[in-house]
Structures are given as structure tokens and as C-alpha cells.
Amino acid sequence: MAERYPLWESLTPPSQYGKPERLASAANGTRIQFADGAWALCATSGLWNVNLGYGNQAIAEAIAQSLTTASYLTLFRGGHDLAVRTATALLGVCGPEQFGRVLFSTSGGAANDAMMKLVRHYQALHGDERRRVVVGLRGSYHGLTYGSFGLTGEQLGQQVYGVDQRFVRHVDHRDPADLAALFAREGHRIAAVVVEPVLGSGAYPVPEHFIEALGTLRDEYGFLLVADEVATGFGRTGRYFASQSWAIRPDVLITSKGLTNGTCAAAAVVVSHDICEVFERADSILVHGETQAGAPSSCAAILATIEEMARLDACALAAENSVRLDRLVTRLSEHPLVTGHRGAGCFRALELSGRSAEVMAAARRAGVVVQPGPDCIQLVPALTYTAEDFEELEAGIAGALDEVAGC
């Protein structure tokens, strides 16, 4: 029998497994080294999660210390001191005036699964078990576990996998009338509306008027508003969380990716004081748990990441680099292959005329790692990018565009 490549690579056809130019071997700062020995500028922040650059020493040392102090402690039927301190610190940056408790998870997808259980349980405690429908946005991305896959608003094969979407609805993020029509039909059945401030792989910002419409409908129908900030949290759009610029506050906030600067499998579901009070009055148990959720190493990584965000003044860096990125995409939009750009902060998409995979490959040959979207390439640089990094990024993408266009 022929020797088989042992690793199942995610979202990759088997014919492409093990390619040296895509097999990473090291990473440092804003660069990744591959098995062929070449270093490339990373314009994806890992998988949008390495906001402070690769190899942050303070975060690495905090994780190492936690593993010698307590290699593992559980949150099942109890807690541990480091998890309590981490939850307190996380509430501090989310907004303690709004949020009262943290449920730890292990990924954005798993956190969205937990959230859907939470909002349905909350509505049941309010005495209305009919409220089981969770509403997402078309084009959104919430994960690929069964619950989050059902909520994801992109068509990614949900029917092939038998994903249950009977209690999920999707609406257009640009059209409050679509949302209002849904509530006119099913408002009495809706438990929550889940919004990414910038929609997943398409990098579409949700407009202010849509958020304002949600506020009006929430007052009328009593659903919970969930901000899925897995991708946009920890400074990605210039604020700690993008929803902090909304005219209304969410009832639930989900964070992952930048939460540990990509070092540990961690996520958090942060809930409002109102939700805490409803569960406390009933003394009700949410039936959810994950073995590695809130483990000491991930809590140490979260605490250290929050401290590094403050030390580096990362949100100010993000605002500064957002301006640089805006100038960059504006200049690149003059290229004949580019049809426009969109996004917010350090989360942008360069719109292309259907050739994003080719441009991504050409950029990689030019020494720049970007990620394709449905009709674009994404530019999601670390918040710690330098002016020189941006010059290299622009030159690499410009060269890739010229190569694909045959210039």
C-alpha cells in the first residue's frame, strides 16, 4: 500500500495536501516560514486571531507558568482561581456595567453552540418555550460545528451534512425591511438575533441603521441581541469590541480568535446582568460544558493578552493602521482587476472580478499570505504591523494583480 499523507488539512482537497509551499514550519512577528524555507509576510493574522503578532514573549511565558502551577483544572461543578480572575478581567474590557458573567468555551463555533442553548433556556425561564428560533444574517460565518454551521449564513454544504436549520432564520443585513417582515410573521417565536459587526468571510460591515432597527424590534418583541465578535474582538476594528460603537448594547457578546492571540483553543460567551438574574432567580443550570474550557493555560493566555493589549495600546495601533490600510486599498482599487473594497478597521476585503484564488496564489509567490473570500481577497494584518510591513504588503499584492492580469 502506498504511503498516505497523515494529516487531514482543513478546507483543502486531498490532492493539495502536504504542498511544501503551504506547509508552515515557524512564525515570528508578522512573518511565517514554510517547509520550502521561504519566509512570507502574513496578511491574515493567522486565521484572524494573531492580533499582536506571532511569538509574543509575555503570553508564552504566562502559559508556561500556568502549566507548572496547575497543568489542568476543571470548571465542571466548580471553578478555579485563575478562571475567576480571567473572567473578571474580561468583563472589565467588555463593559462591567452591561455584562455580569463569562461562560468559557474552546472555539468560536462551540461558543455559538453554547449561546444558542443559552438564549433558548433564557426564554424558557421567562415562561415562553415557543421562543426557539435564532436569527442570523445572510453571508455570515459563525463556525462549522453542527449548531454554528446551522447559524452560518453562507451556503457551505449544510444540507449534505444534515445540519438542522428548522429553528434558524436568515435575513439581509442591508435591509431592515427584511428583518421587520420576519418579525411580523414569527416575532413571537424568536429567541435571539445574532450579528457579526463585520460579516465573516465577505468582510461586509453591518450598517448603523440595521442596528438601530434591531433596537426598536428588541424593545417590542423581547428577543436577545447577540454580538458575535469572534473575528472583530480585541481591537480588530479599532475598538476593543466593534459593538462598543453601536447605539444599543448587546445582551450577549461572543469572543474568541484574538482572545489568546491565537495561542490556545479558547472562547468566551459574555452575558448581561439581566440574563444572570433570570438564571439566578430560577437557580437554573445551563446544561453545557467542555473539558478544556477555561483550562489554566487558556486563562493565563487570556490574562496575558489583555495585559499586552494595554501595554502596546493595541486599539490605538489598530486605529492608526486602519488609516494606512484604507490608503492601501484605495490605491490598489485603481487596478483594473479590482472592483472596489469594503470592511472596517484592520479587517478589509479587496473586491476582485472573480479571480481571487489566482491573486491569492500569485501573492504567495510574491511572498505575501492573503486569504480569499467569495469575491475578494481579505487583508487582515496584525495590529502591530509597521509602515514597512504595509509597503511590502502593497508591493506584493500589486505585483500579484499585475501577474494575474498579464500586465
DSSP codes joined into one string, 182-208: HHHHHGGGEEEEEE-SEETTTTEEPPH
Topology at the third CATH level for domain 14-55+313-405: Aspartate Aminotransferase, domain 1 (3.90.1150)
**Ranges of CATH 3.90.1150.10 domains, the chain:** 14-55+313-405
Topology at the third CATH level for domain 57-312: Aspartate Aminotransferase; domain 2 (3.40.640)
Q: What is the mean pLDDT of residues 147-174?
A: 95
Helix (H) or strand (E) holding 99: strand 99-105
Q: Which three cell numbers stand for residue 89?
A: 478581567
**Ranges of CATH 3.40.640.10 domains, the chain:** 57-312
328-345: per-residue pLDDT in tens? 999 999 999 999 999 999
Q: Write down the pLDDT at residue 406.
A: 87
* Centroid of chain to Cα 302: 15
**DSSP designation for 39:** E
274-331: per-residue pLDDT in tens? 999 999 999 999 999 999 999 999 999 999 999 999 999 999 999 999 999 999 999 9
3-state secondary structure of 225: strand
pTM score, whole prediction: 0.96
Q: Write down the pLDDT at residue 128.
A: 85
Task: Assess whether pLDDT exceeds 90 at residue 108.
Answer: yes
Determine how β-strand 198-199 pairs with β-strand 190-195. unpaired
**DSSP designation for 241:** S
Amino acid sitting at position 339: T
Bridge partners, 377 (sequence order)? 350, 372
Task: Assess whether pLDDT exceeds 90 at residue 148.
Answer: yes
Determine how β-strand 99-105 pairs with β-strand 168-171. unpaired
Given a contact cutoff of 8 angstroms between Cβ atoms, the answer to whether 367 and 300 are in contact is no
List of residues 6+ apart from 129 with CB closer than 8 A: 123
Given a contact cutoff of 8 angstroms between Cβ atoms, the answer to whether 228 and 142 are in contact is yes
pLDDT grade, residue 354 (50/70/90)?
confident
Determine how β-strand 224-228 pairs with β-strand 168-171. unpaired
